[in-house]
A and B are shown apart, each in its own frame.
Chain A
Amino acid sequence: MSMPFYVSPEQAMRDKADYARKGIARGRSCVALQYAGGILMVAPNPSSALHKISEIYDRIAFAAVGRYNEYENLRKAGVTYADITGYQFARHDVTARGIANWYAQTLGTIFTESNKPFEVEIVVAEVGEQESGDQIYRITFDGSVTDEPGFVAFGGQADQVSAQLKERYSDGMSLAEAFGAALSALSVPGNGDSNEVVASQLEVAVLDRARDHRTFRRIRTARLDELLSESRALTAPDPKTPEDPKTGTEAPAGSSGPSAASNAPAASGPPTGPDPSSSDRGSGQGTPPNPA
């Protein structure tokens, strides 16, 4: 076996990028998208303890794909960055843009300076006071940042998932509609082994604009089942094919424009109140804004 004496910088960078890309593509995609009441994030994740989606700050969430130890390290660093910024200045001064920039710097440095690049792709989302203030940033392993208005799919077969999501996405969707769009995007062929998505295999969280103080909320157990059936009712209006997600996703795709959104039952609107049975405790639900 022979070792080359010289590897050009271009070749070294290409190798690193290929290595990182391969690692990321092995996993399954995640999606983050805006809905009328905030930002929804959905990730296939069989573990209920090792999260891909987490809270960073009052209005900011983090979602990642790739190697768990690497993105967990990044998540904790992001929380630390946010907490020290908020402590030094004011809670209002912590922004997704600042955190995304910090991640970009960090990942860029790691990519160029270390032998092994991080095999991660992360999304930082911030819910604004109004829908126009929502922000979604995607940061890749080499530190490039993109601003993704509306929705983003990342990790795994991101291109196919993103194409399907683009077809189903529209402005001002209800939570159930957005969830339906996310599910149909995540179940495109090629994204993992199974096309059928079940509640126990999903990690779902929202940044809920209507909440005070800390807007991040996980959707779990009973609330997740409810949301799943709501979105199935929306995506499969034809009673003959209620169980097949593929026919269900194709049939309403053409009608998912604004008219479909306005026809949506009012009951499927975003949850405006806390749901103690299915959401995180201790995250400021229903409490007045923090006085200090």
Chain B
Amino acid sequence: MGSYYEGGQSGPFAGGDRGPGSAGRVQGSAGLTGRPPGFMGLQSSSFADFLDSHSPGLLPGRIMPGPGADGGPGQAIRDLPHATTIVAAVCEHGVVLAGDRRATAGSMIAKRDVEKVFRSDEFSAMGYAGTGSVGIEFVRLFQVELEHYEKMEGRSLSLEGKANRLAWMVRGNLGAAMQGLVVVPLFVGYDEDQDRGRIFSYDVAGGPYEEQRFYSIGSGSLFARGALKKLYVDDMSAGDAALACVQALYDAADDDSATGGPDMTRRIFPVIATVTADGFRKLSEAESEDYAQQVVQGRMVAPDGPTAPLRTGQPPSGGHA
């Protein structure tokens, strides 16, 4: 009387006693026992949950690096390429996300043209700061997670649902983060119910923390956030918000050695994406070059960039140098 789904397959959430916090770091594994994949009994709306029960080896953050000689992260971990600064600003009916292009390994520049801003689904985007390789896996898993839910359930997750899902994934990486493989995302999206852009930030233990108006993460985030604070105006157009983000990235690159400014000689410009009611859009190379040119031209005249009015009540400078 053998039922077709009971042939020694583990059920959904086979390791149900593992908390979500330990996702992916499982002793022994259900997926490596040599049985053909049995998807019929293992379906879940969450792709990450499915991976956890089916082949936990594919989840990011599974490998626990040993500590270095001094008890801190080993030299090898410190020398991995790290992604740096991401900025986000809410604009009229949407949100803008931008990132510089540099990855550093210790004091070396590991890569000049890395991309750290991604589409996560039609109405959301994410960027990350921290260990590049872990970040890439995060982005891939999160993209599949959102699409998988949408296909399984026939509807998209709410924006908060997506933000919470990402928090769960970040927390799953906590053990690896303690060993030095830190990665922190910045998540933005268009909330269809409220017709506005929203920003969610995270720490290594999860989150999400909803941010108002603008935010930035990564090594240059202090400088970028300071610049955005002075340039940001409520209800900016998407174009103005993008320009403010590029100004902020320029200021971050100005003062933080790990953040790269626009590279005019190699023509490498920040990656800028907008998420509005029309969905995710990554600005073309020409468009981001245009913003970078505007900023660089302005800095030729005023190296510290546009100034904000000293006394409140004066009209804002609008961010155009």
Contacts and interface: CB of A to CB of B under 8 A. Distances in A.
B151 A55 contact: yes
Interface stretch (B14-22, B46-54, B252-260): B46-54
A105 B36 CA distance: 11
Contacts of B148: 79-80, 83
B64 to A, nearest CB: 22
Interface in B278-305: 278-282
Nearest to B136: A292
A284 interface: yes
A115 B279 CA distance: 48
* Size category of the binding interface on chain B: 35 or more
B203 interface: no
Interface in B130-175: 136, 139-141, 143-144, 147-148, 150-152, 154, 156
B40 interface: yes
A81 B150 contact: no
Contact of A287 (B4, B42, B151, B280): B280
Interface string A48-60: 0101001110000
Interface string B232-262: 0000000000000000000000000000000
B40 to A, nearest CB: 5
B123 interface: yes
Interface in A80-138: 80-81, 83-84, 86-88, 105-106, 109-110, 113-115
Interface of B: 1-4, 36-37, 39-40, 42-43, 47, 50-51, 54-55, 58, 115, 118-119, 121-123, 136, 139-141, 143-144, 147-148, 150-152, 154, 156, 278-282
Closest 8 CB pairs of A and B: A77-B39, A282-B122, A76-B43, A282-B156, A80-B39, A79-B151, A110-B4, A114-B4
Interface of A: 49, 51, 54-56, 73-74, 76-81, 83-84, 86-88, 105-106, 109-110, 113-115, 214, 281-288, 290-292
